[in-house]
Amino acid sequence: MVYILIFNSVHKVMKSEKILKSASIPFKTIPVPRKLSSDCGLAIKISDVKLDNIINALSQELPEEIYIEEEKDTFRRIN
């Protein structure tokens, strides 16, 4: 699974990056995909990690929206 995490500020993205690094969860910071919207413009992409592990790690800084990338440029919101 590939998850796209959307936050409402760059500050929250940066804080989440720090949390994910300390939890040893691999991620990539990306521009928000065009088909999705965000005030911040940045998103976090996580592949091959269970959603429960992501949510547990980010319990103090939950994303505003979480999407599954089903195919290239096709997303399904899961929260």
Q: Where are the domains of the chain?
A: 2-77
pLDDT at 37: 77
- How confident is the model over 31-75, as pLDDT tens digits? 998 888 767 789 999 999 999 999 999 999 999 999 999 988 799
pLDDT at 32: 92
What is the residue-wise DSSP string for 33-52? PTTS--SSSEEEEEESS-HH
Q: Does the structure show a pLDDT above 90 at 16?
A: yes
Task: Look up the pTM and report it.
Answer: 0.91
CATH, domain 2-77, list 3.40.1130, 1.10.10, 1.10.1660, 3.30.70: 3.30.70
pLDDT at 30: 95
Distances (CA, A) of 2 to 11, 34: 23, 17
d(CA 12, CA 48): 22
